Structure formats: C-alpha cells, structure tokens
Amino acid sequence: MLLLSLSLSHYSSNAADFCVADLEIGFQTPSGFPCKNPSFVTASDFKYSGLVTGGNTTNINKVSIIRAFVQQFPGLNGLGMGAGRLDIEPGGAISAHTHWYASEMIYVVEGTVTAGFVSGVATNTVYLNKLSKGEIMIFPQGLVHFQVNTGTETAVVLATYGSEDPGTQIISPALFGNNLPSLLVEKATNIDEAEVKKLKVLLGGSG
Ligand SMILES: *[C@@H]1O[C@H](CO)[C@@H](O)[C@H](O)[C@H]1NC(C)=O
C-alpha cells in the first residue's frame, strides 16, 4: 500500500510538471491547450529561436513585433508567461494598446525608448519614463500603454508577459481599421467624422 501510494504520487507529480501544448489536437480553452504526450516531449520544446532577429519594420509604425506566445512557443502552455521582441526604428512606436490577461515588463536591449501607461478613468494619470539600454519598466494588466523610440538608433526591446497568451487590443486599428460607420465612430470617440475617415484610410478601414 505504501509502495502503491509512493508510485502514484510520483506519477502525478511528473504529470503536473508541464503541459507542452499540442496545437493540432484541440482548441484553446481557459485552462490552455491539450498537452502533447509527455513521452514525445524533448528539450527543444522548451527552447524558442524566433526572437533571435528582428522582423520587417517597413510599416506605418516603423516597428516589428515578434511574439513568443503559446501559439508560437507551445512549451509555454499553462506556465503563465510569454515574451516578445519589439524592434522600433527612430520615430516609430508600438501604438497604444492593452493586454487584458497580463501585466507586461520590458527590458531595453538597445536604444532609447519613451514608454508610458495611463491609469483608469478616475484620473487618466499618465506614467511616463524615458528608458535607456538595460532599463526595465512594467505595465499593469489591462492598462493602455505604448512605447516610442525617441532615440537615434533602432531600439530593440524584450517584452515579457504574465500570460502565455496576453490578449491584445490595439486602440487605433480597433477604432478605425474596420467597417464601423464613420458617423458611429465619431459618436464613440468624439473625433469628427472627417478625421475619422482620414484615419480609416490610413489604417485600412472603410465606411
Ligand atoms: C519589408 O516590408 C515591406 C512592406 O511590406 C516590403 O516592401 C519589403 O520588401 C520588406 N523587406 C524585406 C527585407 O522583406
């Protein structure tokens, strides 16, 4: 009986050690993806090389965003953490956005970044910092935040998140990058219709 319970507890502690996502066999649920069969898991499931180089920054924001979330890095499944690499050209910006499932921490690998977040509606207080190479800043879960390259060289930023799938909504495209009628966008934002139409063209929206 003692042996049996020892072997059972040994088994269950192994079973709980990790759950590398099998992205093929099922849907993501609030508790994550189903697990890959542990006997097929290898060291390479816990390594991800996607952040080694930056992506293409030829776009209106002059940025590339490379994610290491559970969809890209299945080993993160259930671990409550994720990462990303941001490359931002001078004058470029990761525009205002939120992550509703996660707080974020950034580490400036190269360059100079001015970053901030805005508190809730009670005060709309802005918390702004100019970050140099090696500095970190945190962004509390759910709050609108942004990062701007205010230096003269390409900024490289490592972002980490308290979720393997932080949930992201980028404010400008959410408001102007779709077919919500311009007049309704004006009502919803207090931005006049002519400006709304201009922003829709810029962000690929219509209406
Ligand atoms: C980067 O993206 C731009 C715009 O989509 C494209 O024209 C250009 O060829 C891309 N550059 C590289 C190196 O892929």
CATH number for the domain harbouring residue 57 = 2.60.120.10
Q: Are both 114 and 12 inside the same structural domain?
A: no
Q: Do 90 and 120 fall within a single domain?
A: yes
User: Residue 150 above 60 pLDDT?
Assistant: yes
Q: Across residues 93-119, what is the average pLDDT?
A: 98
CA 149 to ligand 1 centroid distance, Å: 20
Residue minimizing CA distance to atom 5 of ligand 1 = 58
Whether the predicted pLDDT of 80 surpasses 90: yes
Q: Compute, in angstroms, the gap from residue 167 CA to the centroid of ligand 1.
A: 27
Ligand 1: which residues within 6 Å by Cβ? 56, 58
- Identify the band that residue 183 occupies on the pLDDT scale cut at 50, 70 and 90: very high
35 and 76 Cβ atoms separated by less than 8 Å: no
Confirm if 169 and 162 have CB atoms less than 8 A apart.
Answer: no
What's the confidence (pLDDT) of residue 14? Answer: 52
Task: Note whether 90 and 137 are same-domain residues.
Answer: yes
Q: 201 CA distance to ligand 1 centroid (A)? A: 21
pLDDT, mean of residues 4-24: 65
**Within this chain, do residues 62 and 131 fall inside the same structural domain, yes or no?**
yes
Nearest to 61 by CA among 190, 170, 166: 170
Same domain, 155 and 110: yes
Other CB atoms within 10 A of residue 196 CB: 23
Q: Which pairs from 80-83 meet CB under 8 Å and 24+ separation?
A: 80/162, 80/163, 80/164, 81/160, 81/161, 81/162, 81/163, 81/164, 82/160, 82/161, 82/163, 82/164, 82/165, 82/166, 83/51, 83/158, 83/159, 83/160, 83/161
- Which residues lie below 8 Å from residue 48, measured CB to CB, with a gap of 6+? 68, 72, 73, 75
Q: Are residues 185 and 155 in the same domain?
A: no
Q: Which of 45, 62, 79 is the last residue of a domain?
A: 45
Q: Is the pLDDT of residue 194 over 90?
A: yes
Confidence of residue 201 (pLDDT cuts 50, 70, 90): very high
> Are 26 and 116 contained in the same domain?
no
Q: Are residues 37 and 53 in the same domain?
A: no
Q: Name the CA radius of gyration of the chain, rounded.
A: 21
Q: Is there a single domain that holds both residue 199 and residue 109?
A: no
Q: Are 88 and 94 within 8 A, CB to CB?
A: yes
Residue 16, pLDDT score: 63
Q: What is the pLDDT of residue 15?
A: 54
Question: Does residue 24 have a known ligand-binding role?
Answer: no
Question: Are 55 and 108 found together in one domain?
Answer: yes
Q: Is 97 annotated as a binding residue?
A: yes
List Cα–Cα distances, 27 to 19, 32, 35, 76, in angstroms.
Answer: 14, 8, 11, 16
Helix runs in 73-202, H state only: 171-176, 182-189, 193-202
Q: At residue 13, does pLDDT exceed 70? A: no
Q: How confident is the model at residue 71 (pLDDT cuts 50, 70, 90)?
A: very high
Residue 144 has pLDDT above 50, yes or no: yes
- The answer to which of 13-27, 64-78, 164-178 has the lowest mean pLDDT is 13-27
If asked whether residues 136 and 35 sit together in one domain, one would say no
Number of C-beta neighbours around residue 149 at 10 A: 26
The two structure tokens encoding residue 104: 């974020």
The structural domain count of the chain equals: 3
Say yes or no to pLDDT of 1 above 70.
Answer: no
pLDDT of residue 130: 98
> How many Å lie between the centroid of ligand 1 and the Cα of residue 58?
6
Tokens of 132: 């140099």
Output the pTM of the full model. 0.89
* Structural domain that includes position 29: 2-45
On whether 10 is known to bind a ligand per the annotation, the reply is no
Check whether residue 64 and residue 104 sit in a common domain: yes
